[in-house]
Structure 1
């Protein structure tokens, strides 16, 4: 089959080297040979075949079967990819199920509980010899610092009782929370995670739905660490 195809290209004035280059260009770009392209090549093959040695019928049947199979596989692959994207992507129903619930997500603004204080987590990317959480008021004044000591990489939960360093009531906030972590080689990448309620869901015309979280903003479903 390959030799017949090469002969056809040669009769059209295309060398095997050029066809290899053309094939490489096709494979490296978004353009692919479809059924119509194959039929054009097959027609050219029939028009330029040697009348004393015509193309064998079995070869033609094999070529037609091959292009049909390849086209079918390509269509199936496209369909399966579309299904996979749909299954993996968050749906509006998934997002709506979060409304009214409290989630743990990255953020620096936290509101006090009715019982006082806040709960959250420090997320660090590597082992640290010292981890601390700083809590400030709306004016940027430091209220208290929670020393979490040495910690392994991951999430470290903390709970602040709502008291300042001097023991007075800090109020209900909002509070600005930041995490600091250091290791043997210096600072370790870290971030604060806050517990916050989901008040609504934003459904854009295109793209995935996002959660509306007071004090945090729009949060993607993939950014939710825990659900309370």
Structure 2
């Protein structure tokens, strides 16, 4: 059976192990291409017994099979094009962050020109008490913000730049930490700071990263908000 099949292909100018398509001219293939299938189908129609022609359902099944295979190949090409486009878009989006201010996880904050800082406390569960501690560069406690009971999520805060005694705390930098608790114990939380993006690194492979003064390298996925 195999030799008869190979002979039939050979008489049609088709190799059973190599496609005659342009794409296969420089690479070996172990399967028939679309053009090979059409040649074989045409030969089948030309050489069929007129008194016992090929069943229509079989013909439709063969056509559906090659159409499905061709469609899958085209889909793969389309997906690769989409992947390339998305990669380019991701790079362009990352570069657009330069000069903007982002909200991301961090413990170092710099004072605004008008004084004080704005940030957010992010907690993983409901808490009966949430506090934000602000210290100076020497680790001395300047003030504590009591945010009260809060649901899990992000709680924005704004500090006016005054110490607990009412004096001006200066421009910083300040070290900020978040603590939260509930009736069952402590609740995990972290501080989010607003900081400007100075540069963007776009590696040959992998995701772009943002350089944020006082914070360091920040992945795009770590950006909570853009100001």
Structure 1 length as normaliser, TM-score?
Answer: 0.68
- Which of these residues, 73, 76, 79, is aligned with residue 77 of structure 2? 79
CA distance in 1, matches of 2:94, 2:157: 27
**Aligned: 1:36 with 2:34:** no
Cα distance in 2 for residues equivalent to 1:80 and 1:191: 42
* Structure 2 residue aligned with 1:213: 212
Q: Which runs of 5+ in 2 are unaligned?
A: 3-28, 34-53
Question: What residue in structure 2 maps to residue 192 of structure 1?
Answer: 191
In structure 2, C-alpha distance between the alignment counterparts of 1:204 and 1:37, rounded to whole Å: 40
Once residues 215 and 190 of structure 2 are traced to their aligned partners in structure 1, the CA distance between those partners, rounded to angstroms, is 14
Worse-superposed segment, 150-159 or 81-90? 81-90
Inter-partner Cα distance in structure 1 for 2:140 and 2:107: 15
Distance in 2 of aligned mates of 1:128 and 1:122: 12
CA deviation vs aligned residue, 1:106-155 (integer Å, no higher than 9, x gap)? 11111111121111011112221111111122222222111000112221
- 8 Å CA contact 1:129–1:149 kept in 2: the answer is yes
Kindly state the Cα deviation for residue 167 of structure 1 after the two structures are TM-superposed. Answer: 2.3
1:207 partner SS: coil
Task: Output the CA distance in 2 between the equivalents of 1:87 and 1:63.
Answer: 36
Match of 1:115 in 2: 114
Distance in 1, matches of 2:217 and 2:83, equals 22
Take 2:81 and 2:179, find their aligned partners in 1: how far apart are those partners? 43
Match of 1:176 in 2: 175
2-side partners of 1:57 and 1:36: how far apart?
A: 25
CA drift at 1:77:
3.4
Hey, which bits of structure 1, 4+ residues long, moved more than 6 A?
A: 56-60
The answer to whether the 8 A contact 1:131-1:180 is kept is yes
CA distance in 1, matches of 2:84, 2:140: 47
Is the 1:35–1:67 contact (alpha carbons within 8 Å) kept by the matching residues of 2?
Answer: no
How far 1:62 moved relative to its partner?
Answer: 5.5
Number of residue pairs the alignment of both structures matches: 183
Structure number with larger C-alpha Rg: 2
The alignment partner of 1:113 has SS state of coil
Q: Deviations over 1:87-112 (max 9, x none)?
A: 55552221222211111111111111
Deviations 1:172-217 (A, max 9, x none): 2211111111123322221111000111111111122222111111
For 1:168 and 1:121, the matched residues in 2 are separated by 23
Aligned-pair CA distance for 1:59: 8.1
1:66 to partner: Cα distance: 4.6
Matches within 5 A, 1:1-228: 36=31, 64-86=62-84, 89=87, 90-228=89-227
